[in-house]
Amino acid sequence: MIDVRQLREHADEICAALARRGDSSCDSQVEEVLELDRRLREITAERDEARARINELSREVGQLRRDGNVEQAEAVQAQSRALGDDVSRIERDHEVLSAKMHELLLHIPNVPHRDVPDGASEDDNPVVNGPFLPEGGIDGFAEHQRVPHWEIGELLGILDNERATKIAASMFTMQRGAGATLARALCQYALDSNADEFEEIRPPSLVSTATLTSTGQLPKFADDAYAIERDDLWCIPTAEVPLTSMYSGEILDAADLPMRFMAFSPCFRREAGSAGRDTRGMLRSHEFDKVEILALAAAEQAPQLLIDMVARVERMISSLGLHHRVIEICTGDLGQSHHRSFDIEVYAPGCGQWLEVSSVSWFSDYQARRADIRHRQVDADGKPMKGTVLVHTLNGSALAVPRVWAAILETHRQADGSVNIPEVLSPYMRGISRLGG
């Protein structure tokens, strides 16, 4: 969430930055937060004044009793009790207003980075690298590549969504045989590709409400999450959620930053707002496997980390022989928590569309403020400085199975109906180099 003090001191500047998102509700939300902040500061001053007066009266009561003036002491004590009741009322009002302000702050989006391109929707997202397509562009794909992966998977016996629906519900998928091996191989390849700098974590797949709130999924995206109400737990939509909160409430040493983590996990999403869209095959599902990469960094480290993480993902996609492009997300399409974000998309010739396979994002200190993750500062000589500051968080999909799996089947399909496995996956495929054929 945004810092209230920053809102108080730079309201016009922040409102102007938020206006770039095209969300007209931000101004009124900021105004309401500032009014609540003003009232809270007034109440705090009133409470502190009353507490100070109570302390004075308590000292006066003690002196009166020592002087034997019991009647006057009891009268002053009655004043003190009345003031104590006022303090209790003020504290209740303070708690109510604080909760209301906190709830409002949870809904105000992050401020876009100054370099984020302006735009109203995903149609305005500029391509910043690529597209990398075969000779002839999109028209350069062969006819045998223009078969959708759900047909290829069924023909090869490696995708069985009909039985997945039978044992679960619609929009659940099931890979079989070499198809399941391919899904697992993709995840292991992603982990191995990032093991040089990222510590592997296997986090819980269920998290608390507070954990899901820290990353911004709650309260805004509650309808897209799977809740286990009996235990007040939630199925994670991505490993970003538990990884971000690993150090919640802690103070890190500057020398340890940046801290980099990666995790394989199942991901669960209701896809509540996507009814009827991309429901065939593997393009959109309620459960899927993914490898996530995440970093906790000092503010000055974050911009270069973002570039490095985008490059890592792009190298993996390229090594799989997939035709891709990198786009930057414009202000009107930027997620609530995002400060700056890039998507890597692959072209799937069988589906005939560009598919987002990774989103790599920088959140500034927006998430860390919710999770209360701070670090100690050091000066130019490496000596500790007074106080702490919030870290910056970054994360990205190193590799999400469904759409990459689909793009491999369509891109690497041969004229005889078989599918060649990308060479980089060979160590993980138990000797399988081709599906079918």
Q: What is the CATH number of the domain that holds 66?
A: 1.10.287.40
Q: Do 306 and 354 reside in the same domain of the chain?
A: yes
Q: Do 101 and 153 reside in the same domain of the chain?
A: no
Query: Is 113 part of a structural domain of the chain?
Result: no
Query: Is 114 part of a structural domain of the chain?
Result: no
Q: Which of 107, 138, 154 is the last residue of a domain?
A: 107
Q: Do 165 and 93 reside in the same domain of the chain?
A: no
* Domain, as residue range, for 291: 122-435
Q: Do 174 and 63 reside in the same domain of the chain?
A: no
pLDDT score recorded for residue 140: 96
Q: Do 177 and 225 reside in the same domain of the chain?
A: yes
CATH number assigned to the domain comprising residue 317: 3.30.930.10
| pLDDT < 70 regions, the chain | 272-278, 437
CB under 8 Å to 4, separation ≥6 — which residues?
A: 33, 37, 101, 105
Complete DSSP assignment for 210-229? HHHHHTT-TTTTGGGS-EEG
Q: Do 381 and 351 reside in the same domain of the chain?
A: yes
> What distance in Å separates the CA atoms of residue 338 and residue 4, rounded to the nearest whole number?
18
How many structural domains comprise the chain? Answer: 2
Q: Do 221 and 343 reside in the same domain of the chain?
A: yes
Q: Which of 107, 136, 155 is the last residue of a domain?
A: 107
Q: CA-based Rg of the chain, rounded to a whole angstrom? A: 28
The alpha helices in 108-201, defined as continuous H runs, are 149-156, 161-167, 178-194
Q: Do 90 and 211 reside in the same domain of the chain?
A: no
Tokens representing 386 are: 């007074």
pLDDT score recorded for residue 278: 64
Q: Do 271 and 142 reside in the same domain of the chain?
A: yes
pLDDT score recorded for residue 274: 56
Enter the pTM of the model. 0.91
Q: Do 274 and 339 reside in the same domain of the chain?
A: yes
Residue in 310, 254, 207, 266 with CA at minimum distance from that of residue 402: 266
Q: Do 193 and 103 reside in the same domain of the chain?
A: no
Q: Do 100 and 214 reside in the same domain of the chain?
A: no
